[in-house]
Chains A and B, each alone.
Chain A
């Protein structure tokens, strides 16, 4: 990835009169970590980076901005928000467009073909004590840790994030400007973890999920980090009527997880943010992928590919499967 080219494009974009700011990544405050970065003017673009640690999905910020009421006599700020997207992030944007969560004219999408991201937990586990290093780069197929002492080549298979191993769309599905050459999609691994669970008996599956769901502390990070969990009045936060009690116990946790997974069925773009941010290490991705697989295999639909598509759960086909109905 040529950072100079990225910064040049970013500078052009933020200088436009109709652009409010650009959302990207910059170095964090410690070692190789990265943080989201809001660039407001061309002078700020020098800090922009795109590295194998830019795993977070910036599309989440599109729906997080607070929409303050416009004082009488003033015009609302109609300027666009620009953001950098990887393949999976662009799918989240496409799905937001499908749902009219954001409008096309409100955003400028800068697409970055993505060679694959690093799972920082795996990195810390396999290469302990390296987190003070300044930078991580792509190095052909592999990754390169640059910093203290000698550079270290890190084999791709060791630290590649799970969602990237399974990724089928590394190139942005939609963008106004693309920076860099498209990458060649790699053969997605087929160990999504779904078949492994399906192979167990019902009681065993229940035990597995009981163990997982019991760990949940109901911090709702999974909901907050998800680009597609943006209802202003979330059914899981409501007190009246109360759908899911706030008590943290296995029964309520299970209800919470069933509801969360269900609400994302046919919408989840498998960006992996929910699982990444979960402090309890619950494999939420497996739940999401199970439903995504059902939607793909039984209905031939994949969310986040076509911004003009019909929302899956708000549409139907007369010949949808119904073999389960008496």
Chain B
């Protein structure tokens, strides 16, 4: 490959911690790969597993979900539910043959701009290693 593969990563970030953490990374001018497309949700517990499935269908090569550390959730317990559900989703995706490197989850607080950078770097590295994900693309309906 002459040109390096640039993965598309969709990131679902919770409004209160990771979104603010990513914001902090920006205001602190921390450089990190530009492959993530951030979607802000109110809580990691709001991430419906079908968001992930849909993102993969619509051309994402990897998905990243990030929320507050356990115990820090703005809604007290949203991230605990997210942890359970997304673990099951991860197992299910893996079982059906999706490369586990396409799915990452992290806890990043509002003050962890540096951690956010590391998380993104890891997600991008993983997605590059896993390669482009075309098999699951939503088919365009051609009449």
Using CB atoms and an 8 Å cutoff, list the residues of chain A in contact with chain B: 194, 197-198, 202-210, 235, 243-245, 247, 249-252, 254-255, 257-259, 261-262, 265-266, 287, 290-291, 294-295, 298-299, 312-314, 316, 318, 320-322, 324-326
Contact of A324 among B87, B122, B135 (CB under 8 A): B87
Closest 4 CB pairs of A and B: A206-B97, A205-B97, A326-B106, A316-B80
Interface stretch of the complex, out of B4-12, B32-40, B50-58: B50-58
User: Distance (Å) between the CB of B28 and the closest chain A CB?
Assistant: 20
Chain A residue at minimal CB-CB distance from B101: A202
B98 interfacial contact with A, CB 8 Å: yes
Asked if residues A249 and B139 are in contact (CB atoms below 8 Å), the reply is yes
B71: chain A residues within 8 A (beta carbon): 318
In the complex, which of the residues A247, A314, A320 has the most CB atoms of chain B within 10 Å of its own CB atom? A320
B81: chain A residues within 8 A (beta carbon): 313-314, 316
B85: chain A residues within 8 A (beta carbon): 313
Knowing A202-B97, A326-B105, the reply to whether A258 touches B92 (Cβ < 8 A) is yes
Asked if residues A320 and B83 are in contact (CB atoms below 8 Å), the reply is yes
B88 interfacial contact with A, CB 8 Å: yes
Using CB atoms and an 8 Å cutoff, list the residues of chain B in contact with chain A: 49-50, 53-54, 57, 70-71, 77, 80-81, 83-85, 87-100, 104-107, 119, 122, 135-139, 141
Chain A residue at minimal CB-CB distance from B94: A202
Contact of B105 among A235, A250, A325 (CB under 8 A): A325
Knowing A254-B136, A324-B87, the reply to whether A265 touches B92 (Cβ < 8 A) is yes
Asked if residues B119 and A265 are in contact (CB atoms below 8 Å), the reply is no
Chain A residue at minimal CB-CB distance from B115: A326
Asked if residues B136 and A325 are in contact (CB atoms below 8 Å), the reply is no
Asked if residues A322 and B70 are in contact (CB atoms below 8 Å), the reply is yes
User: Distance (Å) between the CB of B40 and the closest chain A CB?
Assistant: 18
A250: chain B residues within 8 A (beta carbon): 139
Describe B's contact surface by its main secondary structure: helix
B99: chain A residues within 8 A (beta carbon): 202
What is the CA–CA distance of A312 and B91 in the complex, to the nearest angstrom? 16
Describe A's contact surface by its main secondary structure: helix
What is the CA–CA distance of A202 and B101 in the complex, to the nearest angstrom? 11
What is the CA–CA distance of A206 and B93 in the complex, to the nearest angstrom? 10
A194: chain B residues within 8 A (beta carbon): 95
Contact of B80 among A244, A265, A291, A320 (CB under 8 A): A320
User: Distance (Å) between the CB of B61 and the closest chain A CB?
Assistant: 14
Contact of A291 among B50, B91, B107, B136 (CB under 8 A): B91
B87: chain A residues within 8 A (beta carbon): 294, 298, 320-322, 324
Contact of A258 among B96, B100, B105 (CB under 8 A): B96
Known contacts A255-B54, A290-B92; 16 further A-B pairs (Cβ under 8 A): A203-B97, A205-B95, A210-B97, A265-B88, A287-B95, A299-B84, A313-B81, A316-B83, A318-B70, A318-B80, A320-B84, A320-B87, A324-B105, A325-B83, A326-B105, A326-B122
Chain B residue at minimal CB-CB distance from A293: B91
Knowing A255-B53, A324-B87, the reply to whether A290 touches B119 (Cβ < 8 A) is no
Chain A residue at minimal CB-CB distance from B136: A251
In the complex, which of the residues A198, A290, A314 has the most CB atoms of chain B within 10 Å of its own CB atom? A290
Asked if residues A262 and B49 are in contact (CB atoms below 8 Å), the reply is yes
7 sample A-B contacts, Cβ–Cβ < 8 Å, listed by A number: A205-B96, A250-B139, A291-B92, A314-B81, A320-B87, A326-B104, A326-B106
Asked if residues A209 and B92 are in contact (CB atoms below 8 Å), the reply is no
What is the CA–CA distance of A133 and B86 in the complex, to the nearest angstrom? 50
A299: chain B residues within 8 A (beta carbon): 84
Chain A residue at minimal CB-CB distance from B65: A325
Asked if residues B53 and A258 are in contact (CB atoms below 8 Å), the reply is yes
B93: chain A residues within 8 A (beta carbon): 258
Chain A residue at minimal CB-CB distance from B66: A326
Asked if residues B91 and A290 are in contact (CB atoms below 8 Å), the reply is yes
